[in-house]
Amino acid sequence: MKYITRNLERVVQQVSTEYPVVLVTGPRQVGKTTMLKKLMEGTNRGYVTLDDLNERQLAKTDPELFLQLHKPPVLIDEVQYAPELFTYIKIDADTTHEAGAFWLTGSQVFKLMQGVQESLAGRVAVLSLTSLSQAELAGGEMSPFIVELDALATRKASREKTDAKGIFERIFRGSMPTIVSGANSNSQIFYSSYLTTYIERDVKELSDAIDSLKFLRFMTAVAARCGQMCNVAEIARDADINQTQAKNWLGILEALGIIFYLHPYSNNLLKRLVKTPKLYFYDTGLVCYLTKWSSAETLESGAINGAILENYVVSEIKKTYLNCRIEPYLYYYRDKDAKEIDIVLEHDGMLNPIEIKKTANPGTELTKVFHLLDKSSTPRSKGAVICMKPELSAIDKDNYIIPIWMI
């Protein structure tokens, strides 16, 4: 299995010279352990996983002895299983002041962050690893996506050009390293196993009263609404659960790094007319599995092709920021007449309106909604239509046409 270089590697190496503890969070199977083990090669850093029940028991009952047996520098995998370690890691960090002494990984962000905030505040760099981005698959350098010509020209040289068929193949295949690297060629078998493990281990760790079949039905209802405003009532109805359950379960999906939201943009002059966020998955392959699409070809001509294309573009843009340890300021805008801007990117005190379309020949009509942002106290800058056009182009001097493969 070929190792795919992760853009977060540079960030791990940088913060390991500044903080005694580095915590890499993210869903199962996105490559946290693989990346850190790759960075450990040729060093004297030890490794222990709390998936090992004997090690987990020792870490929980005698954390001091555990750390004597596994002295830093050390990588402790799945650390959420033994939050008892955090206090002793803090003591070691405060005593030795050794940068990069502890590398930690964990799949349960919410549970982890409770312990981290209580015990390791100021001593830990928290990084988030997502599934693979198209930049990583192309072997290109990662930088945050911005709507500037020079930056876009630089991206062009380090991305893998493809057409609409190729984009939908990427969407259908998804971005999990095991599938993309060729280690597991059957995505149906992979996602079936992935969901079983994910629900039985991580979800039930957070809420052991959850019925596995109901939760799977709930996830399917959520996947069917990717790229749409999050309608809790409809999700609850389709999953045959109450709305309180649906809200709680959406919280679990977000805490485990499966979904994220875009919130509506507003400021003091531009009132928030819509309060409901839009819902997206980090991995479109999981969406395709849950919604039972059988191939990239049927997906491309199917009913959700626009929504899942939007999901893909938004998640790719978000990954370009997360992989650089930068919080993205991504929103959407919708007014009282239901006129909508797919993405509002706030960058360096300016707003970039962005539309996402399946077309290869976008016209000026697509940018007419951008004026909705002119009432904002934050000035509007260049706009963009991200679409299937094969090359970087422009509608006019204020609005660019950006191919999806260039994100």
393 and 244 within one domain: yes
Give per-residue pLDDT as tens, 50-78. 999 999 999 999 999 999 999 999 999 99
Report the number of distinct structural domains present in the chain.
2
Q: Is 349 left (phi over 0), alpha (psi -120 to 50) or beta?
A: left
Is position 2 within any domain? Answer: no
Residues contacting residue 217 through CB under 8 Å, at least 6 positions apart: 238, 239, 240
Domain boundary among 100, 128, 156: 128
| pLDDT at residue 38 tops 90 | yes
Domain boundary among 81, 99, 128: 128
265 and 144 within one domain: yes
For 91, the enclosing helix (H) or strand (E) is helix 85-96
Q: Which domain holds residue 76?
A: 8-128
Mean per-residue pLDDT for 392-402? 95
339 and 201 within one domain: yes
CATH of the domain at 18: 3.40.50.300
Total number of residues shown for the chain: 407
398 and 362 within one domain: yes
Q: What is the DSSP string of 346-391?
A: EETTEEEEEEE-S-SS--GGGGGGGGGGGGSSSPB--EEEEES-SS
144 and 82 within one domain: no
Give per-residue pLDDT as tens, 99-144. 999 999 988 665 666 767 778 888 999 999 999 999 999 887 789 9
Long-range Cβ contacts of 78-81 (<8 Å, 24+ apart): 78/49, 78/50, 78/51, 78/105, 78/106, 78/107, 79/23, 79/50, 79/104, 79/105, 79/106, 79/112, 80/106, 80/107, 80/108, 80/111, 80/112, 80/115, 80/205, 81/50, 81/51, 81/56
354 and 312 within one domain: yes
151 and 18 within one domain: no
* pLDDT > 70 fraction of the chain, expressed in percent and rounded: 96
323 and 298 within one domain: yes
Is position 95 within any domain? Answer: yes
80 and 198 within one domain: no
Mean pLDDT, the chain, rounded, equals 91
| pLDDT at residue 206 tops 80 | no
114 and 161 within one domain: no
Q: How confident is the model at residue 183 (pLDDT cuts 50, 70, 90)?
A: confident
163 and 117 within one domain: no
Sign of CA dihedral 85, 89, 92, 95: negative
Mean per-residue pLDDT for 307-317? 97
| pLDDT at residue 208 tops 80 | no
59 and 45 within one domain: yes
243-255 helix and 212-223 helix, angle to the nearest 10 degrees: 80
Q: How confident is the model at residue 351 (pLDDT cuts 50, 70, 90)?
A: very high
Contact 400, 383 (CB under 8 A): yes
From 304, 299, 50, 274, select the one nearest 172 (Cα to Cα).
299
Taking the whole predicted model, whether its pTM rises above 0.75 is answered as yes
